[in-house]
Amino acid sequence: MNQPPLSVTCTHIGQELTVTLGGSWHLGAPKPPSYEEALNTLATGELSKLTLQAPQLETWDSSLLVFLVQLVRIAKTRHIPINEQLPVGLQRLLTLAFEVKEQQGAKRSSHGENFFAQVGDKVIHFFPALCDLLLFLGQVVTALWHLFLGRATMRRQDFIACIHECSLQALPIVSITNLLFGLILAFVGAVQLTQFGVQVYVAGLVGIGMLRVMGAVMVGIVMAGRVGASYAALIGTMQVNEEVDALLSFGFSPVEFLVLPRMLALALMVPLLTIYADMMGILGGYLVGTLLLDLNPLEYLNATANMVDFKHGLIGLVYATMFGIVIAISGCYHGIRCGRSAQAVGIATTTAVVHSIVGIIVMTAIITIICNALGI
């Protein structure tokens, strides 16, 4: 049996628009000209009231709901009162469509956008994002002040758990990476130094390189990928599950409860891991010097002690402390500002790692310039 086609009738009396729906609505059905007329009249006309009615509505599917949602959204945007004279089931679906808010972070991908449109979008959102970051840093400083006064809501067991996560559990990967990096650094130095018969200077090259910069940088990169990503994913998942909102409801500061123990743990443990990484790097250089360059083991150790000044180790600890703070702030910031979807958690985790590594490089450049300016 043939079903009547969908129909849309617009009646514009004064400042009142009445949209009458009828017929059979289904996906793929041809739309009459009055379909677009209703949307355009509602969007541009001088109206004080919108009436929706469907006295002769037959069968319908989601295509009808989509049309009604468009009408209601335009009316709400223009603050036009709505009189719904629709079937009960359709009214319930329409109400439900506006009860569920758009999830932050679940937006459509912008891969298909024009390059200049993407650049413009980044520029437009740069300053609001910068202000938001400064606000977060202010909250961190306030949390540190509360900790100094003994009023912070940070739990001791959380701090201990964070220390365990970014210390003992990170030792294997820190050991392997820095031992191999010490080997690489010794090989690179030996390529030139052996031509002049001064292989012993490999000890100074490896010692100064590891203690002053490279040990802290390697630990920072490892911790950014291991711990910074973990912080962003953990806090982001708490954001999705509305656990951060629960903390606010109970009067706890998320920055003091979640960010502060993680930042303090990284600021404390990254320098200690750097000392261990320096030792592993020097061990790697020692293996190359004694096994491949035929240096006497005692000669290598004496050369390291004579060429490496104590100040290089202190500068390396300054690097490491700043790296720990950068990693913690980046991971926790993107976790707390995460949207409420699985995709948003993945984006926050990836962004936290990228920003941590970029922050480590920028901080390395800044501290290096300061050290050169001060002559140390």
The answer to the question of residue 55 being in a domain is: yes
Read off φ and ψ for residue 52, nearest 5 degrees. Answer: -115, 125
pLDDT band with cut points at 50, 70 and 90 for residue 100:
low
Is 79 within a domain? yes
Per-residue pLDDT at 183 exceeds 60: yes
Look at 61 and 279; give whichever has higher pLDDT. 279
Query: What pLDDT is stored for residue 360 in this prediction?
Result: 92
Q: Decide if pLDDT at 74 tops 60.
A: yes
Pairing label, strands 16-23, 7-13:
antiparallel
pLDDT score at 112 = 52
Residue type, position 121, single letter: D
Residue finishing a domain among 47, 64, 99 = 99
25 domain residue, yes or no: yes
Where residue 65 sits, what CATH number does that domain have? 3.30.750.24
Whether 255 is in a domain gets the answer yes
Q: Which residues contact 179 (CB under 8 A, 6 or more apart)?
A: 280, 281, 283, 284
pLDDT of residue 64: 82
Check pLDDT > 70 for residue 23.
yes
Give mean pLDDT, residues 57-80.
84
Element at 57 (helix H, strand E): strand 49-57
- What phi and psi values does residue 78 have, to the nearest 5 degrees? -95, 5
Say yes or no: 194 and 317 in one domain.
Answer: yes
Residue predicted with more confidence, 273 or 11? 273
Same domain, 134 and 56: no
The predicted pLDDT at position 326 comes to 92
Query: pTM score, two decimals?
Result: 0.68
Do 259 and 166 sit in the same domain of this protein? yes
The pLDDT of residue 276 is 92
Please check whether residues 90 and 176 belong to one and the same domain.
no
- Give me the number of domains the chain comprises: 2
Q: Does residue 173 share a domain with residue 295?
A: yes
153 & 75 share domain: no
> Residues 6 or more apart from 118 whose CB is under 8 A from it?
110
Domain shared by 131 and 199, yes or no: yes
Could you tell me if 36 and 145 lie in one domain?
Answer: no
- Same-domain pairing of 139 and 31: no
**What does the block give as tokens for 294?**
């035929």
Q: Is the pLDDT of residue 125 over 70?
A: yes
Of the candidates 188, 203, 178, the one whose C-alpha atom is nearest the C-alpha of residue 301 is 203
- Which residue carries 């600021």 as its tokens? 267
Structure tokens at 180: 């191999």
Q: What is the pLDDT of residues 218-242, one digit of tens each?
A: 999 999 888 888 889 988 888 888 8
Give me the chain's average pLDDT, please.
Answer: 84
Q: Does 109 fall in a domain?
A: no
Of the three residues 65, 99, 133, the one that is the final residue of a domain is 99
pLDDT of residue 254: 85
Res 358: pLDDT: 92
**Are 134 and 38 part of one and the same domain?**
no
Same-domain status, 154 and 66: no
Residue 111 domain flag: no
DSSP secondary structure code for residue 85 in this structure: E
pLDDT average, residue stretch 100-122:
63
In a domain, 113, yes or no: no
Decide: 272 and 374 in contact? Cβ < 8 Å.
no
Mean pLDDT computed over 152-169: 84
The domain in which residue 362 lies consists of 125-374
> Do 249 and 339 have their domain in common?
yes
Question: Does 1 reside within a domain?
Answer: no
Residue with tokens 């140390």: 376
Mean pLDDT of the region 139-149: 87
pLDDT beyond 80 at 105:
no
| Rg of the chain over all Cα atoms, to the nearest angstrom | 32
Residue 80 CB contacts under 8 Å (≥ 6 apart), including other chains: 42, 47, 48, 49, 50
Q: Which amino acid is at 24?
A: S
- Res. 149: pLDDT tops 80: yes
3-class secondary structure, 287: helix
